[in-house]
Amino acid sequence: MRILIPVDGSECSRRAVEHAIRLARLPEAPEIHVIHVRPPVDAWEVRRFLVEEEIAEIERHEGEESLRQARGLLDAAGVAYQAHVEIGPIAEIIARYADDKACDLIVMGTHGRGGLSKILMGSVAAEVVNLSHVPITLVK
């Protein structure tokens, strides 16, 4: 079994990692993939002063920072994992990554902020649910 855990450093994503750690204790331990997806920087104010390579390095560094909490939890639990930082449309990349890596399950956090249509799920979680071909466990 392969499990994908999208994280953003929030409390909800921490709980999703903790849930995946419990799943990793099953008799047949799953292969864990942790991903943080950052939207691309499109602000002209940034692009005016930084070249593409500098922007990419900043995005990667900030992505690694967002993975730190998940890495710490997984390391402390002794769970093997692969961590990735991607840049682009968040929900689309999560769904595509799950397909590309043949993941059997996505475990991600959700929360109730946003407009009326998003009362039960955050906008990224709702979008992943709509785009993904993989079963999803949403953790509050």
What's the pLDDT score for residue 59?
82
Q: Which pair of tokens denotes residue 74? A: 């997984």
Residue 17 three-state SS: helix
Q: CB neighbours of 45 closer than 8 A, spacing ≥ 6?
A: none
Mean pLDDT across the chain: 86
Spans of the chain, pLDDT less than 70: 43-47, 111-122
Distance from chain centroid for Cα 137: 13
C-alpha 18/C-alpha 7 separation (Å) is 12
Q: Which pair of tokens denotes residue 26? A: 């099953």
Query: How many other CB atoms sit within 10 Å of the CB of residue 27?
Result: 4
Length of the chain in terms of residues written: 140
What's the pLDDT score for residue 46?
65
What's the pLDDT score for residue 104?
96
Q: What is the pLDDT of residues 95-108, one digit of tens each?
A: 999 999 999 999 99
- Position 32: which residue type? I
The answer to whether residues 109 and 138 touch, using CB atoms and an 8 Å cutoff, is yes
Q: Which H or E run includes 48?
A: helix 44-49
- Position 33: which residue type? H
Q: What is the pLDDT of residues 13-34, one digit of tens each?
A: 999 999 999 998 888 889 999 9
Q: Which pair of tokens denotes residue 104? A: 């059997």
What's the pLDDT score for residue 45?
67
